[in-house]
């Protein structure tokens, strides 16, 4: 099993699709829970979209996807690369 959790998110206008890869373990090696993985994915999306605010965070609903589905997406551009999370623009 991979050390990454995968999330997909699509904006309707403009039509953009994102793949968010989140490390499943933190810096101490502890496994992150699903809530923390989703929170990290949302935080990364907020950075990429460029609009801060709790109301935006509440509206964002990244979809967890399998590793095989994530590998089927073509990575067009890396938009954010943090130690625990990477966001790609995908097709």
- The 3-state DSSP class for residue 75 equals strand
Cis ω before 70 (30° cut-off from 0): no
Higher pLDDT, 2 or 3: 3
Q: Is 50 exposed, middle or buried (0-12, 13-18, 19+ CB in 10 A)?
A: exposed
* pLDDT tens track for 17-65: 899 999 999 889 899 999 999 999 988 988 888 766 567 777 788 889 9
Distance in angstroms (rounded) separating the CA atoms of residues 80 and 48: 7
35 in a structural domain: yes
Q: Number of folded domains in the chain?
A: 1
Closest CA to 6 of 69, 82, 80, 74: 69
Instruction: Residue 14: give the domain boundaries.
Output: 7-90
């Amino acid at each position: 099993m991979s050390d990454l959790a995968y999330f997909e998110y699509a904006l309707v206008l403009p039509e953009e699709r994102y793949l968010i890869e989140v490390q499943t373990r933190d810096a101490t090696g502890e496994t992150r829970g699903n809530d923390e993985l989703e929170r990290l994915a949302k935080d990364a999306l907020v950075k990429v979209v460029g609009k801060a605010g709790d109301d935006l965070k509440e509206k964002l609903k990244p979809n967890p996807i399998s590793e095989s589905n994530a590998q089927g997406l073509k990575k067009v551009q890396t938009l954010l690369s943090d130690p625990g999370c990477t966001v790609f623009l995908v097709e």
